Amino acid sequence: GDSVTQMEGPVTLSEEAFLTINCTYTATGYPSLFWYVQYPGEGLQLLLKATKADDKGSNKGFEATYRKETTSFHLEKGSVQVSDSAVYFCALNSGGSNYKLTFGKGTLLTVNP
């Protein structure tokens, strides 16, 4: 079945540091890939997505590239801010049904001033 594996947190960085959160997946077919972010006390929000191999999703300075050969979708940001402190979820939709998302367990990021 479909699965998503994220690097375990928590991740603690200083402001302006470089961020990478690793995500790999197992899926049937050609999945679409997503990163969601959950700020404290809130629900999940879509951060970025990529729907086919070699696509790059980007938003708010975050980027992730769909790598079919390595089945990965790592999240990166060149310079994190305190306001980026949140839990980040990698997710996929395998395309068999156009509604079902499979989520990773989430990675807690804390950015210190």
Partner 1 sequence: DAGVIQSPRHEVTEMGQEVTLRCKPISGHNSLFWYRQTMMRGLELLIYFNNNVPIDDSGMPEDRFSAKMPNASFSTLKIQPSEPRDSAVYFCASSLPTSGVRINEQFFGPGTRLTVL
Binding mask 42-61 for partner 1 (x = CB under 8 A): xxxxx---------------
Q: What is the closest distance, in whole angstroms, from the C-beta atom of residue 50 to partner 1 in the complex?
A: 12
- Single out the residue of 1, 10, 70, 98 in contact with partner 1 (rule: CB under 8 A): 98
Nearer to partner 1, 46 or 78 (CB): 46
- Single out the residue of 80, 106, 107, 109 in contact with partner 1 (rule: CB under 8 A): 106
Q: State how far the Cα of 32 lies from the Cα of 112, in Å rounded to an integer.
A: 33
Q: What is the closest distance, in whole angstroms, from the C-beta atom of residue 25 to partner 1 in the complex?
A: 14
Which residue type, as a one-letter code, is found at position 63?
Answer: E
45, 68, 69, 70 from 37: Cα distances, Å: 5, 23, 25, 23
Give the number of other CB atoms < 10 A from CB of residue 4: 22
